[in-house]
Structures are given as C-alpha cells and as structure tokens.
Amino acid sequence: MSSVLYDAQGPRAKQRNILYTVLFVLGAAAVVWWVYDGLAEKHQLDWIKWEPFFTSSQPWETYIWPGFQNMIKAAFFALIIALPLGALFGIGRLSDHRWVRMPAGFVVELFRAVPVLILMITANAVYAEYTTIDTDMRPLYAVVTGLVLYNFSVLAEIVRAGIETLPKGQAEAAKALGMRKSQIMLSVLLPQAVTAMLPAIVSQLVVIVKDTALGGAMMTFPELLASVRPMSANYGANTIACFTIVALIYIVVNFALTTFASRLERWLRRNKKSKGTAAGGAPETIGTPSLVVDDGRAV
C-alpha cells in the first residue's frame, strides 16, 4: 500500500509501521480496558441489562419502534415542506428584481444564522400561545416547524449553488428559443440544478434526522432519544445498553443515507462524463475532488 504522501515502504519503514501499530493497539487496549472496567464495576455489562433487547420484543415494540416512527415522521414532513420552500427562496435570491432578491436573501441568511433549537423553542411557545393545537401534537408541530425554518434556508443555498454552477449556455439557449424567464427557470434550470444537487439534498436529510433528536431532549417529542429514559427506568437502569442500541439505530439509518448520497454522486458524475459535457483540464490533485463540496455546512 502506498500513496502520494509516502513512498513504497522498505524493510525499515515496515518495521517502524509495525512498531506504531503495536503502540496504537496498546493505547487503544488501555482505553478499552479502562472503559470495560468502569462499565463492569457499575454492572452495566451484566447480561440482565442487555437481555431485554435480545430475548423479548417488548422494548422494541413499546419504546424503540414508536420512537423510530416519530423520528421518521418528523424528518419526512420537514423535508417535504422545506424542499419547495427552499427552491422558492433559492430562485428568489437569483431574481432580476431587487425587491425580491434582497428580502429573500435576508430571510435565508437570518434563518441560517439562528440555531435550530432556538427556532424549535420559539415555534413551541408560539403554538402554545396563539393556536389550539392540542398538547399531544404540539411537540411534533414545533419540531417540524423548527426543522423546516432552518433547513429551507440551507436547501435554498443548495438550490442556488446548483443553478449558479450550471453552464451559462443552458439559460442562453433557452432564451434563444424564446422561452419566458419563468419557463427557463422551471423547465430548464431548476430540474438540472436539483438533479445535480440531489446528493447534497440527501446529505441534508441526514442533518434533519439528527436534529429530530433535539426534539426528544428538549421539547418532550417522543422520538428515539426520548425513549432512552423510560426504557432504562423500566429495565433496571441499563442506561449504557439503551444508549448503545439507540445510537446504533441512528448510525445505521444515517450511514445508509450517506452511502446512498455518495453512490448517487458517483453515478451522476459518471453519467455526466459519458455524455461528454465535463470540461476536464483541471489540475491533478491528491484526491478526487467531490461534487458535494464538504464545506462544513452539514455539521
């Protein structure tokens, strides 16, 4: 195994690598032992604490499955509502009219700067004060509203970036065909931009799924994370076991989404290449640059 950063390894380098590996394993083993010891001392590793998840379906049916459903429900509604809103504001920011462009930009920048939690708390208070949504449903409404308000602004930026990176010739050719501005946007630019940005949109879905957990911790929204407390209370304080199971579910769901996003990206890039539209000629770099630019937004 060699890379551009280091040469093919000779005997001495190989020996050194073995030494590093051994040191790393020893360090890791020390940490693992420390954690294991701590857990065992607190009886968190006793079979009785883990047994409910493996021998009966009760914890899955009463706690985990309803929580999972609520998580998916909130994420689904948030995406479905935020996507068209995002497209609208993304297009709005590119408008020829100042009085459309400026307010759209202001709204998008404002909601991108405010934490989701602040939006959720506000939405919850507003629903409690000014509407008659009953208290059972209010957390769901508040969580979805908070998620929509934040994510539509992010999606607006994604759509805008997608439209801006399209070749200029697309709009010009459409104009030459005599299309109106709305036609150019809706039937030429937007479909291409959304397709190109699909991986980024799927990655944003990961952010949405992760943020539903905020609702569980702060808004009494009965989703997956919120199921930990009643569950560990019911099965004899098996906090560690409950957290492990819940974290695993999050990892599986989000890992599937991330993998899907990167597959989609590779597929889109390959499709583009075979049509011969990629310009090429970019300088060769250490790794392949990604279409979904990892600009740190999806934190």
Partner 1 sequence: MFDFLEGYDLLGAFWVTVQLTVYSALGSLIWGTLLAGMKVSPVPLMRGFATAYVNVIRNIPLTVIIVFSSLGLNQTLTISLGADVIEDINFRLAVLALVAYTAAFVCEALRSGINTVPIGQAEAARALGLSFTQVLRLIILPQAFRAVVNPLSNVLIALTKNTTVASAIGVIEASYLMKDMIEAEAQLILIALVFAFGFVVLTLPTGLILGWVSKKVAVKR
19: number of Cβ within 10 Å? 10
To partner 1, the closest distance from the beta carbon of 211 in angstroms equals: 7
Say if residue 245 is exposed, middle or buried (CB neighbours under 10 Å; 0-12, 13-18, 19+).
buried
136 binds partner 1 (CB under 8 A): no
- Identify the residue whose tokens are 């994604």: 158
Q: Which residues of 28-61 are buried (b: 16+ CB within 10 A; e: fewer)?
A: eeeeeeeeeeeeeeeebeeeebbebbeeeeebee
Q: How far is the CB of 205 from partner 1 (least distance, A)?
A: 12
Distance CA 161, CA 154 (A): 11
Choice between 177 and 252, CB closer to partner 1: 252
Q: Does 72 interact with partner 1 (rule: CB under 8 A)?
A: no
Residue found by looking up tokens 């539903």 in the block:
212
* Interface of this chain with partner 1, residues 144 to 163, rule: CB under 8 A: none
Question: Quick one: which of 30, 31, 118, 137 contacts partner 1 (CB under 8 A)?
Answer: 118
125 is a contact residue toward partner 1 (CB under 8 A): yes
Q: Check binding of 165 to partner 1 (CB under 8 A).
A: no
Among 97, 113, 176, 276, binds partner 1 (CB under 8 A): 113
The answer to whether 120 and 214 are in contact (CB under 8 A) is yes
**Per the structure block, which two tokens stand in for 3?**
């890379």
Nearer to partner 1, 16 or 180 (CB): 16
Coil, helix or strand at residue 97: coil
Q: CA 272, CA 160: separation in Å to the nearest integer?
A: 20
Q: Which of 218, 206, 208, 224 is nearest to 260 (CA)?
A: 206
Q: Are 53 and 245 in contact (CB under 8 A)?
A: yes
C-beta closer to partner 1: residue 112 or 175: 112
Shortest CB 195 distance to partner 1, Å: 23
CB of 170 to partner 1, least distance (A): 27
Shortest distance (Å) from residue 63 CB to partner 1 = 15
CA angle 207–103–185, rounded 5-degree value:
75
Q: Is 69 in the site for partner 1 (CB under 8 A)?
A: no
* Contact residue for partner 1 among 104, 211, 221, 222 (CB under 8 A): 211
Is 141 a binder of partner 1 (CB under 8 A)? Answer: no
Amino acid letter at 120?
M
Closest distance of CB 296 from partner 1, Å: 4
Shortest spacing between CB 293 and partner 1, in angstroms: 8
Q: Does 181 bind partner 1 (CB under 8 A)?
A: no
The minimum distance between CB 271 and partner 1, in angstroms, equals 22
Query: Residue 228: which residues within 8 A CB-CB, separation 6 or more?
Result: 239, 242, 243, 246
Residue numbers of the site for partner 1 (CB under 8 A)? 1-7, 9, 13, 17, 20-21, 24-25, 28, 38-39, 42, 44, 110, 113-118, 121-122, 125-126, 129, 206, 209-214, 216-218, 225, 228, 237, 239-240, 243, 246-247, 250-251, 253-255, 258, 283-290, 293-299
